[in-house]
Amino acid sequence: MAGTGTPGDDVAALEAEQQRLTLRQFTYEDAWELGMLLRALAVERNAPVVIDVRHGARTVFRCALPGSSADNDAWIDRKRRVAERYGAPSFLVGARFRAKGTTFEEGSRLDPDSYAAHGGSYPVTVEGVGVVGTATVSGLPQAQDHALVARALGELLAGTRPRRDGS
């Protein structure tokens, strides 16, 4: 997630990242694997997060790690709704509003108790299909939540981690 610090540059970098992280498929097994990747990355960092992975509207993977709180569950839902509604990472949605000189809360006119354009929720996109699910993390500063999900999607796409069945 590079950028020079200006809102337009951040938007361009985030959009390029989203394009790069388009998957060839996303099965229930893949959703579970993504959840396990997120958990392993969070455990490596001793990150106090809640993780939620969905295939369509179905929750396939959800876990809370030590140090997370019930507030993180509420943030998961608010960030996920943004990713679902806009078909873009919640961090990117917030950056787009800032690039226009406004805030998500002002510009979107959506209920802030239901929607939050803070980093950490990523729409799972499949080539030729579109958005088929979401992966969301809450518990770290928003840029770190976003980076954790982007890294796990990158590893799933590249197949760089062994699958839990050992293959």
Cα–Cα distance for residue pair 53/49, rounded to 1 Å: 13
pLDDT digits (tens, 9 = 90+) for 68-97: 999 999 999 999 999 999 999 999 999 999
- ∠ CA 10-53-166, nearest 5°, is 110
Confidence of residue 159 (pLDDT cuts 50, 70, 90): confident
Question: What is each CA distance from 127 to 11, 70, 123, 130, 155, in whole angstroms?
Answer: 21, 35, 13, 6, 17
Please name each of the domains of the chain with its CATH number.
Answer: 7-158 (3.30.450.150)
- Count CB-CB contacts under 10 A for residue 97: 18
| pLDDT at residue 2 in the model | 42
Cα–Cα distance for residue pair 164/65, rounded to 1 Å: 19
| pLDDT at residue 14 in the model | 96
pLDDT digits (tens, 9 = 90+) for 102-127: 999 999 999 999 999 999 999 999 99
pLDDT digits (tens, 9 = 90+) for 15-43: 999 999 999 999 999 999 999 999 999 99
